[in-house]
C-alpha cells in the first residue's frame, strides 16, 4: 500500500527548499508518495502569531549568523547547491498561486523545482512577475496559463482557504509534513518522519503474511 506524505511549503522558506531537495529520496526508500501542498506563509504567521526566526531574532546578530551558517552546513553535508537569497525575505504570493494551479499537473514538480532553484540557488528576485515569466520560459513551462493563474482572484482565494485549512490541522510554519495523523515540522524532523515510515512499512509486511 502506498504511503502518503503531505509536504506543506512556501517558496520563501530556505528550510522548505532544503527539505524539498532531500524528501524525494527519503520517500522513494519507503515507496511513499509526496503530495505537494502550497500555503502562504505570511497568512500562517498571522493566524498563529508566529514569525520567521530571522525576523524574531533580527536584532541578535550572533543568532541570525548562526542560522545562516547552519543552512549552508546542512546543504554542504548533503552535496546541495544553496545560496542565501540576497532578496530575503521574499514575497512569493505570485509563485505560490502558480504552485496551487500546478497541483496534479504533469509538470508540477518541474515548476516547484524551477522556482525553488531560482530563489535559493541562483538568487533571482522571484517576487516579480516579469522574473517569474523568465523562469517559466527557461524551464519550458506553460507561461500563459501560469501567468493567468498568478493573477487570478479565484486561485488567490483558493490558496488562502487551503492555507487556513492547514493552519487548522496544526501548521504554524514551513516546512511541515503530515504522515497519517502525525505532523513533522522543519527539515530536521525528516529523520523522525523516516522512522514512522519504516515502522508502518514493517507493520504492513507483517500484516500481509
- Where do the structural domains in the chain lie, given as residue ranges? 3-208
- Give pLDDT, residue 42: 98
- Give pLDDT, residue 209: 46
- Per-residue pLDDT tens listing for the chain (209 residues): 679 999 999 999 999 999 999 999 999 999 999 999 999 999 999 999 999 999 999 999 999 999 999 999 999 999 999 999 999 999 999 999 999 999 999 999 999 999 999 999 999 999 999 999 999 999 999 999 999 999 999 999 999 999 999 999 999 999 999 999 999 999 999 999 999 999 976 666 655 54
- Residue 87, burial from CB neighbour count under 10 angstroms (0-12, 13-18, 19+): middle
- Give pLDDT, residue 2: 77
φ, ψ at 34 (rounded to 5°): -100, 125
pTM across the whole model = 0.95
Buried b (16+ CB within 10 A) or exposed e, 193-203: bbebbeebbee
φ, ψ at 35 (rounded to 5°): -100, 105
Angle at CA 186, nearest 5°, toward 67 and 100? Answer: 115
How would CATH label the architecture of 3-208? 3-Layer(aba) Sandwich (3.40)
Amino acid at each position: 500500500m502506498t504511503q502518503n506524505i503531505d509536504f506543506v511549503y512556501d517558496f520563501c522558506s530556505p528550510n522548505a527548499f532544503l527539505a524539498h531537495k532531500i524528501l524525494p529520496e527519503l520517500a522513494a526508500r519507503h515507496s511513499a508518495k509526496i503530495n505537494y501542498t502550497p500555503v502562504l506563509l505570511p497568512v500562517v504567521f498571522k493566524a498563529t502569531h508566529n514569525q520567521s526566526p530571522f525576523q524574531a531574532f533580527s536584532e541578535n546578530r550572533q543568532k541570525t549568523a548562526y542560522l545562516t551558517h547552519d543552512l549552508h552546513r546542512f546543504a554542504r553535508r548533503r552535496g546541495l547547491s544553496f545560496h542565501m537569497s540576497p532578496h530575503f525575505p521574499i514575497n512569493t504570493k505570485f509563485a505560490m498561486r502558480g504552485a496551487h494551479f500546478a497541483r496534479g499537473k504533469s509538470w508540477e514538480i518541474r515548476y516547484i523545482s524551477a522556482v525553488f532553484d531560482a530563489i535559493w540557488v541562483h538568487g533571482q528576485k522571484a517576487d516579480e512577475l516579469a522574473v517569474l515569466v523568465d523562469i517559466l520560459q527557461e524551464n519550458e513551462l506553460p507561461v500563459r496559463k501560469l501567468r493567468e493563474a498568478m493573477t487570478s482572484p479565484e486561485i488567490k482565494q483558493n490558496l488562502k482557504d487551503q492555507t487556513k485549512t492547514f493552519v487548522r490541522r496544526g501548521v504554524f510554519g514551513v516546512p511541515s509534513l503530515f504522515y497519517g495523523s502525525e505532523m513533522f515540522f522543519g527539515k530536521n524532523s525528516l529523520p523522525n518522519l523516516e522512522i514512522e515510515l519504516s515502522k508502518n512499512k514493517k507493520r504492513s509486511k507483517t500484516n500481509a503474511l
